[in-house]
Amino acid sequence: MQSQQPWRLICSGAMMTLSCLILILMAHAQYHSLLFWVAVILFLAGLGWLVLEVLSIRRNTLRYVARMNAALARTLQTAPDEMPVPLAVVDARHEIIWYNSAFSSHVAGGGELFGLKMHTVIPLRPDAIRDGESIEIGMRDRRYRVTRSDYERKNGHAILFCFEDITNYVNLRQIYMDTRPCVLMIVIDNYEDLFSGTRQSERAAALASLEALFDKMLAGTESVFCHMDEDRVLVVTEARHCLEMERAHFPVLDEARKIKVRGRSSMTLSIGVGRSGETLEQNEFFAQQSLDMALGRGGDQAAVKTDSGFTFYGGVSQGIEHKSKAKNRAIAKELLKLMMRCTHVYIMGHRASDLDAVGAAVGVAYIADECEIPYNIVIRTESTMAKLLTDRIEEEMPGCMIPPETARAQIQPDDLLVIVDTFSKDIVEDAELYRMAKHVVVIDHHRQMVNYLENTTLKLHDPHASSAAELVTGMIQYFDFRDEMPQFCAEALMSGIMLDTKNFVMQTGVHTFEVAAFLRERGADPIAVKTLFAESLEAYQHRSKLVTDAKVFGRYAITTATEQVPDIRMIASQAADELLGVEGVDASFVLYPAGEQMCISARSLGKVNVQVIMEKLGGGGHQIMAATQRSDCTLVQLCEMLVAVLEQTDAEEAAAEQQQEEE
């Protein structure tokens, strides 16, 4: 807009004002005075001058608006192309119909792009983003936030993509995530047993070796660690160093096993990691949770608390039996106190209960009976795998067993629920009864799973024990009951121990034989116990067929039952046990249908951790005994998934061995 002389407008206004004042002063007395008419002429001239100035301003304003419109039009035509933000427009077929220079140079790397498909130019399919949404992608060492905007044109649909360079923000975010504090809690699993009876010099040498191992693990990192106790260490490090340990599968576990005490006993560690918390205090809490989980799974492994649960590393060695049973003795006394305070005791095992679950339940029922507390065993007798034992219970203890529906209708807030032979919410006999109970005691020997029973009043969890029956018998040894244990109760407990130890062959420790001798003194007849393992001729034939049809894949034996038969769970587990007798077989897997579920029964001689394998397929269990139940796949698909996991396991072990050889 051309600038106007402001004095012209001011003068015209002043002329009108002055003439107007003169006219007002002379209006009453001097109408015919010369000065009066001069004032009139000045007023009219000023008015005309003012009108001309207003018209001039209007013309200049219109001229300015027209020129600005032209300038804006030219700018809008060239601005998108010159903008530093990369832009691209594609049509309904995802072909590029327009782009600016920033997109060509920074994103696409130059060249003619018209008519090309978007996904052939950059690693992004247009349908991966919806209208108004954004996504992060990386291109040419840069990170972009891509936003999509849809609009309709006269000749069809068009999509505008805007690429916002967020590389600096991403780098800053990564630095923040890498430097977040993480907490590691490390415990020597077998500290008491390892150094019991050793000389002070041997203990000092072993602990010095462990200290050197920690120094090596944390070398080059900005980490601190301190001893919380003789067998416990707290480490605070940055997330990047913690992730490096995870990617290497915590090599400190393998290095610790090389530390020998008295030349034969290996030191093992359990590590709990907390790194997903928002504060250092929360990470410390997560680390404690992870450590409890690692110890609950047998130790010699690391557990990492993540947003989706826990991730485990290690756990490849056999658990070492703890000789000290002081903790078990204390828990036994607490259980007795709980029973004395409650009004009724309900005892429950896992679904498709076996001899160990039912035998342990009988042992707990004996404890409740000696405390003179009413009790019931909650069990679905139609689906149990210990049918012969439940028949004996009905004879010896009539009315003792009740279905879960009856227990749910009777249970009161002051009642006690004892769960034996399982630590998982997914496989308890009745999950609803567990949720209704206010006081829960858990007695189990399986390695702890992710979906474990929470909010327990008391728990006796020893993954080094052979069976739940062994744990219950061990507690009974601490009680000074006035009455001798009935022979039937002793035989029920003995059957559970014999089942899980495969007649005292697998997972058998010194304490296992001690409790077996205790039960034998109480009248447990091995011949009577053997009758509880009897099976029908049809079941024997089905088991033999499974063994005959088995195929060996490397060090694994796999067989599949294609039809559903009665007692298939028991038949499958027995077939898996028999396949371990095949030369060169370290682990066996029996696949079978059970109703709507596809199942795997896995067994091992100890060289292969079948619990880890089954966990990858959604199951769990013990290191030498585990299982999986799936309802989202067929038996053939489950077999293919199993083979893939086994191949992955062999590849990981081969890579670990190669790494150790290189080191």
- Find the CATH number of the domain harbouring 131: 3.30.450.20
What local confidence, expressed as pLDDT, does residue 23 receive?
A: 60
Question: Does the residue 578 lie in any domain?
Answer: yes
Q: Are residues 271 and 364 in the same domain?
A: no
pLDDT tops 50 at residue 3: no
Q: Are residues 332 and 309 in the same domain?
A: no
58, 80, 102 - which closes a domain: 80
80, 109, 141 - which closes a domain: 80
Question: Does the residue 175 lie in any domain?
Answer: no
pLDDT tops 60 at residue 436: yes
Question: Does the residue 106 lie in any domain?
Answer: yes
DSSP assignment string, 17-50: HHHHHHHHHHTTT-TT-HHHHHHHHHHHHHHHHH
- Predicted TM-score (pTM) of the model is 0.59
- Find the CATH number of the domain harbouring 208: 3.30.70.270
Would you say 561 and 590 are in contact if contact means Cβ atoms under 8 Å apart? yes
Closest by CA position to 156, among listed 90, 99, 98: 90
Q: What is the dihedral of CA 418, 424, 428, 431, to 10 degrees?
A: 90
Question: Does the residue 1 lie in any domain?
Answer: no
Q: Residue 591 — very low, low, confident or very high, per pLDDT cuts 50/70/90?
A: very high
Q: Are residues 544 and 650 in the same domain?
A: yes
| Domains identified in the chain, total number | 5
Question: Does the residue 251 lie in any domain?
Answer: yes
pLDDT tops 90 at residue 4: no
Q: Residue 445 — very low, low, confident or very high, per pLDDT cuts 50/70/90?
A: confident
568-585 mean pLDDT = 88
What local confidence, expressed as pLDDT, does residue 655 receive?
A: 78
Domain range for 37 is: 6-80
Alpha carbon distance 10, 333 (integer Å): 106
Share of the chain above pLDDT 90, in %: 24
195-222 mean pLDDT = 85
pLDDT tops 90 at residue 606: no
Would you say 568 and 591 are in contact if contact means Cβ atoms under 8 Å apart? no
Residue 375 β-bridge partners:
345
Closest by CA position to 336, among listed 476, 474, 222: 476
Q: Are residues 413 and 443 in the same domain?
A: yes
What local confidence, expressed as pLDDT, does residue 375 receive?
A: 94
Q: Are residues 489 and 341 in the same domain?
A: yes
- Out of 25-29, 178-182, 260-264, 491-495, pick the least confident: 25-29
What local confidence, expressed as pLDDT, does residue 118 receive?
A: 84
490-495 mean pLDDT = 93
- Residue 579 corresponds to which amino acid? L
More confident site: 122 or 308: 122
Would you say 384 and 517 are in contact if contact means Cβ atoms under 8 Å apart? no
234-239 mean pLDDT = 92
pLDDT tops 90 at residue 332: no
Q: Are residues 378 and 403 in the same domain?
A: yes
Q: Are residues 353 and 460 in the same domain?
A: yes
Question: Does the residue 21 lie in any domain?
Answer: yes
pLDDT tops 90 at residue 155: no
Question: Does the residue 320 lie in any domain?
Answer: no
- Out of 13-27, 610-624, 641-655, pick the least confident: 13-27
Q: Are residues 377 and 490 in the same domain?
A: yes
Q: Which two tokens stand for residue 406?
A: 């009856």
pLDDT tops 80 at residue 21: no
What local confidence, expressed as pLDDT, does residue 377 receive?
A: 95
Residues in the chain: 663
Alpha carbon distance 48, 43 (integer Å): 9
Q: Are residues 158 and 201 in the same domain?
A: no
pLDDT tops 90 at residue 91: no
pLDDT tops 70 at residue 257: yes
- Find the CATH number of the domain harbouring 385: 3.90.1640.10
80, 96, 131 - which closes a domain: 80
pLDDT tops 60 at residue 78: no
Terminal-residue alpha carbon distance, the chain: 81
- Out of 47-61, 221-235, 556-570, 572-586, pick the least confident: 47-61
Residue with tokens 């209960």: 353
Question: Does the residue 561 lie in any domain?
Answer: yes
Would you say 324 and 231 are in contact if contact means Cβ atoms under 8 Å apart? no
- Find the CATH number of the domain harbouring 585: 3.10.310.30
Q: 458-461 and 439-444 as β-strands: parallel, antiparallel, unpaired?
A: parallel
The DSSP output letter for 421 is S
Cβ contacts of 251-260, under 8 Å, gap ≥ 24: 252/213, 252/214, 252/217, 253/300, 253/301, 253/302, 253/313, 253/314, 254/660, 255/213, 255/216, 256/210, 256/213, 257/300, 257/317, 259/206, 259/209, 259/210, 259/213, 260/206
pLDDT tops 80 at residue 73: no
Q: Which two tokens stand for residue 109?
A: 């790397």
Q: Are residues 65 and 101 in the same domain?
A: no
Q: What crossing angle do the helices spanning 468-478 and 355-370 adopt, rounded to 10°? A: 20
Residue 610 phi/psi, 5° resolution?
-70, -20
More confident site: 185 or 316: 185
Alpha carbon distance 512, 514 (integer Å): 5
Alpha carbon distance 292, 290 (integer Å): 5
Q: Are residues 150 and 97 in the same domain?
A: yes
Mean pLDDT, rounded, of the chain: 83
Residue 118 phi/psi, 5° resolution?
-60, -45
Span 157-182, pLDDT tens digits: 888 899 989 999 999 988 888 888 99
What local confidence, expressed as pLDDT, does residue 138 receive?
A: 85
How open is the CA angle 544-549-553, to the nearest 5 degrees? 125
Q: Are residues 281 and 383 in the same domain?
A: no
Q: Residue 321 — very low, low, confident or very high, per pLDDT cuts 50/70/90?
A: very low
